[in-house]
Amino acid sequence: MTADLQDFLEDIQRVETFEGFQSATEDLRDLLAISHVVYHWVNSVGERFGAGTYSSEWVDRYLEKDYLRMDPVIFGCFQRFTPVNWKQLDWSSKAAKTFFRDALDYGVGNQGYTIPIRGPNGQFALFTLNHTATDEEWDRLISRIQRDLVVVAHEFNKKALAFEAVDENQTTPTLSPRELSAITHIAKGLSRAQAAAELGISEHTLRVYIESARHKLGALNTTHAVARALSMGVIIV
């Protein structure tokens, strides 16, 4: 690891406030001499946490236009495990092209490298480096610091989680074994009757499990319960 990134890692571990977190993104940007460094996450209920060097105009624009739903970076990272170079993504759709052009207009660089990070309870965060450069220049930079970035990204996420520690009070509900089986079968598309047959219990009993799981998950209906259980990582279908 380069000495300056090593120092940066020490620094970020001492960060105590959101302002410190924000200026850490700026420090890293300056250290790497690139256009932008951004960390953000979207949690299950659509609440956001983020810091970075994008202009507030671009952030507002992004939210206003609901770009979250068409941003290839989000989609690409959501389906992968490995960091992704923006050039590798699918920018072929019209919406993606419009989005990219708009981003450039708002001062976002043409090159990007994003590391997806996943945490407990379905947390999903993105750590992005962005710059204006040729493919060659960018690839050279990335391949040089690739590995260090994984560690840096994780340090950012660790800090972010520490700030949201209040959230950890929302402990993931503990479902009983039967509740888990029941909701898993429902999530797989079985009807109540089928799921009950599968578990060898009466449909009424199954209903009790689903209802109870639903209450524990704070869900409005069965479909919502399945959605919450999935995005909280309580069940895996």
Partner DNA sequence: ATTAGGCTCGCTATTTATGGGGAGGCCATA
Partner DNA sequence: TATGGCCTCCCCATAAATAGCGAGCCTAAT
Query: Which residues contribute to the site for a copy of itself (CB under 8 A)?
Result: 1, 9, 42-44, 46, 68-69, 74-75, 78-82, 118-124, 147, 150-151, 154, 157-158, 161, 171-172, 177, 180, 186-191, 219-224, 226-228, 230-233, 236-237
Q: Among residues 9, 197, 201, 232, which is the contact residue for DNA, using CB under 7 A?
A: 201
Contact mark string toward DNA, 179..198, x via CB under 7 A: x-----------xxx-----
Strands (E), 91-196: 111-118, 124-131
Q: Least distance from C-beta 193 to DNA, angstroms?
A: 6
Nearer to a copy of itself, 144 or 147 (CB): 147
Q: Are 152 and 5 in contact (CB under 8 A)?
A: yes
* Subset of residues 81 to 140 that bind DNA, contact rule: CB under 7 A: 93-94
Q: If contact means CB under 5 to 8 A according to the sort of partner, which of DNA, a copy of itself, none does residue 193 touch?
A: DNA
Task: List the one residue out of 166, 236, 227, 178 whose CA is nearest residue 44.
Answer: 227
Burial class (CB in 10 A: 0-12, 13-18, 19+), 206: buried
Which residue carries 């994003």 as its tokens? 114
111 in the Ramachandran plot: left (φ > 0), alpha (ψ -120 to 50) or beta? beta
Q: How far apart are CA 220 and CA 112, in angstroms?
A: 39
| Binding residue count for DNA, defined by CB under 7 A | 26
Q: If contact means CB under 5 to 8 A according to the sort of partner, which of DNA, a copy of itself, none does residue 51 touch?
A: none
For residue 49, the surrounding DSSP H or E stretch is strand 48-52
* Subset of residues 202 to 231 that bind DNA, contact rule: CB under 7 A: 202, 204-205, 207-212, 214, 220-223
Q: If contact means CB under 5 to 8 A according to the sort of partner, which of DNA, a copy of itself, none does residue 32 touch?
A: none
- Other Cβ atoms less than 10 A from the Cβ of 236: the count is 8
CA R_g for the chain? 21
Enumerate binding residues for DNA (CB under 7 A): 93-94, 174, 176-179, 191-193, 199, 201-202, 204-205, 207-212, 214, 220-223
